[in-house]
A and B are shown apart, each in its own frame.
Chain A
Amino acid sequence: MSMKILVGCKRVIDYAVKIRVRPDKMGVVTEGVKHSMNPFDEIAVEEAIRMKEAKKASEVIAVRCYSTIQQETLRTALAMGADRAIHVEVPAKDCENLGPAQVSKVLAALARREGASLVLLGKQAIDDDSNATAQMTAAHLDWPQATYASKVSSCDGKLTVTREVDGGLETVEVSLPAVVSADLRLNEPRYATLPNIMKAKKKKLDKLSLGDVGVELRQHLAVVAVSDPPTRQAGVTVDSVDSLIEALRHAGRI
C-alpha cells in the first residue's frame, strides 16, 4: 500500500513547565520558556512511523503551521523517522489567531496537495485543549474521522480504530482516506537516536506560505482574558451531617 501520511506537529509549552499568566492577562508567558512537541502529536508521529515500518505506508510527512521560530519540532519528527517535513509559515503577528479553525484549513489543503490518504493528529494540544483540529480537518476534506484512537490497524484500504470514549472503548471502521486523532494510550513514542538526529539534518524541510496552500487567515475568536484559577480557599469544619447538608445547600451545591 503506498499510503502517504500527513502528521501535524504543534510546538507547545513543555508539560513540565509551571505556567504563569502574563501581566496583561491576555495570555501566558511564552518568552524564554521551554517548549517541546505536543505530547499527543509525538504519539501521532510514532504511529505514522510504525505504519511505515509495517509497510502500510510509503511516506510520513511532518507538518507545522506557525511563524519561523525554531524548527526543532519538525526536526524532532524527522529524527524519529518522518521522511520529510513541511513548514507553513505564518507571519508572526497572525500567529495569535491560529486556532483549529485556521490550522484545519491548512492541513486540509496540504493533504490534498500532497495526495495524502491519512492525516494523523494529536487529539488535542496541551496549551489550548481545543480538541477540534482533527474534526474540522475531516470536515474540510469531507473524509471520515476516527478520534481518540487508542489502537489503529489498517487492512485493504480501511482502518479499524479503537476509540477511548467516556463509556469505555468503541471500535469503528473507516475507509481511507481518513483523519485520525491520537489518544494517550495509542503508543509510547520512541526516543530519537543520535544517528537519526544527525540524519534528520539531511532530510527535506520545505517552507510554504499561506498563499502556496491557498488559505486565507481570518480571525474567528478573540481572547477576552486569561486568569489564574481561583486560589484554594480554606475549608470549614462542620459538626454533623445536617450542618454539612445545610452548608452545601447554602453554597448552592445541592
Chain B
Amino acid sequence: MQVVSKAVRRLASFRSRLMSSVASIDPSAGLTDEQLATQELATRFAHNEMLPHMAQWDQKEEFPLSTLRAAAQLGFGAIYCKEDYGGSGLTRLDASIIFEALSLGCVSTTAYLSIHNMCAWMLDTYGSEELKARYLPDLATMEKCASYCLTEPGSGSDAASLSTTAVKNGDYYSITGSKAFISGAGESEVYLIMCRTGQPGPKGISCILVPKETPGVTFGAKERKVGWNSQPTRIVHLESAVVPVANRLGEEGEGFSIAMSGLNGGRINIASCSVGAAQASLDAVIEYTKTRKQFGSPIAAFQHTQFEIAEMAAELLASRLLVRNAAVALDTKHPDTVVLCAAAKLYATRNCLQVIDRALQLHGGYGYLKDYPVQQYLRDCRVHTILEGTNEVMRVIMARHLMAS
C-alpha cells in the first residue's frame, strides 16, 4: 500500500511539474516558470536569429549551419538527452515547447533541428558508452549534424521491408544499399542507418552509425522540394561501406524498434512544428484582417472572417493539447504512448495545415506572395502529413492498438 501511494505521489508531483494548469490559445498558458523561461528563450531566438532570414533560406536553399550551432549553444542541440555527454536533460514537453516556439522563425530549420535531436537521443539511449563519448558531445554542440536513415527508394511506409544490408565480417559490418529522402544528407557527419543484419521483416534490422567520411558513402543530387528548403534532402548510397561493429546501436535485430522509438518522439516534434506555424499564421492573419479594408470596413468586421478565425483557433488549441499530452505520455511512459503520439501527429499535422491554408485564404492575393510568410509556413508544413510516418500509417498504428483483441 505504501509503495503504491509513494509512486502515485511521485507521478502526481512529476505531472504537476510538467503541466500545472490550463492550456490556451496563448502558447504560454499552463506552463511552469522554467517552461516559460525556456519558451521565452526559444521565442526570442526565433524572432532575432531566424525570422529575418527565413525567406532567404527558403529561396536560396541555404542550410543555416551557424544559426543551428547558435541554437545548440543555448542547449537546443540535444534537448532530451542526458547531461552526461552535453545533453540538456530536459523533457519531451520542454522539447515540444521549444520546437513550437522556434517554428515561428523557420519551420524547415526547426524541423531539421528536431530530427537531429531525435538522432542524438537514439544514440544517447541505445549506443555504447564508448560510442556516445565519441559522438554525443559533437552532436550536442552541432559541431556535427546527424541524419536519420530509414526510408529507401523501395520501402517507405512498408519500412520493415527495407533492403539495405549489413554483412558482418569479424569486427566490421560492410553495408550496401540506398536510403532515400534523407534530411540533412550531404551536410550531416553522422548517419543512423537502419539496415538488414538478419532475417526478413522487422526483427532482422539493426541500427548502425555510419560517419560521413566512410569510404563507399556517396550522396545523390540535392532534391528540389516544395518546402523544407533550408535543409538538403538527398539519397544516401552505401557501397560496401565498412564500419566497426561497435558502431551498432543496441543489439542486432533491435534496429527497427529503436527506429520506431525514435519516431514516437519525432512525431511529437514534427507535430509541434505544425502547431507553431499555425500559431504564427493565426497571429498574422488576425493582424492582417484588422488592417485590410474592403467595402468600407476592415475585413475583421465581417462575420465570416470572425467565424473562420474562431474555428482556426479551436483547431489550433485542440492540436496543441494533443501534442503536449502526447509529450507528457512519452515522458511518463504512459501505456498508451504510441497511440497518443500517433493521434497527436495525425491530428496536429493535418489540422494545423488547414489552419495555415485558411490563414492564407484570408490574406487574399497577398497570401500568395512570397513577401508574406504564410505561404512558407504552408509549404513547409505540407510535408508533415507525410514524413515520420504518413498520416495513413498513423491510422494503421492507432487501429492496430484500438482493435487488438
Contact = CB atoms under 8 A, between A and B. Distances in A.
Interface of A: 36, 70-72, 75-76, 79, 191-195, 197-198, 200-201
Interface stretch (B35-43, B127-135, B197-205, B304-312): B35-43
Interface of B: 33-34, 36-38, 40-41, 44-45, 73-76, 79, 83, 88-90
Nearest to B73: A193
8 contacts: A36-B40, A76-B40, A191-B45, A193-B75, A194-B74, A194-B79, A198-B88, A198-B90
B298 to A, nearest CB: 15
Contacts of B88: 194-195, 198
A191 B74 contact: yes
Nearest to A198: B34
Contact of B38 (A36, A70, A71, A197): A197
Contacts of B40: 36, 72, 76
Nearest to A192: B41
By Cβ-Cβ distance, the 6 closest A-B pairs, closest first, are A194-B75, A194-B88, A197-B37, A193-B74, A193-B75, A191-B74
Contacts of A197: 34, 37-38, 41
B48 to A, nearest CB: 9
A191 B33 contact: no
Given A75-B37, A197-B41, 12 more contacts: A36-B40, A76-B40, A191-B41, A191-B44, A191-B45, A191-B74, A192-B74, A193-B74, A194-B74, A194-B76, A195-B83, A197-B37
Chain A residues touching B, majority SS? helix
A191 B83 CA distance: 20
Nearest to A78: B37
A39 to B, nearest CB: 12
Of the listed residues B40, B45, B90, the one surrounded by the most CB atoms of chain A closer than 10 A to its CB is: B40
B104 to A, nearest CB: 13
Contacts of B41: 191-194, 197
B75 A195 contact: yes
A192 B88 CA distance: 13
A194 B90 contact: yes
A231 to B, nearest CB: 16
A193 B40 CA distance: 11
A192 B37 contact: yes
Contacts of A76: 37, 40
B100 to A, nearest CB: 15
B29 to A, nearest CB: 10
Nearest to B47: A16
B332 to A, nearest CB: 19
Nearest to B35: A197
Contacts of B89: 198
Contact of A72 (B33, B44, B45, B79): B33
Given A191-B44, A194-B41, A194-B79, A201 B73 contact: no
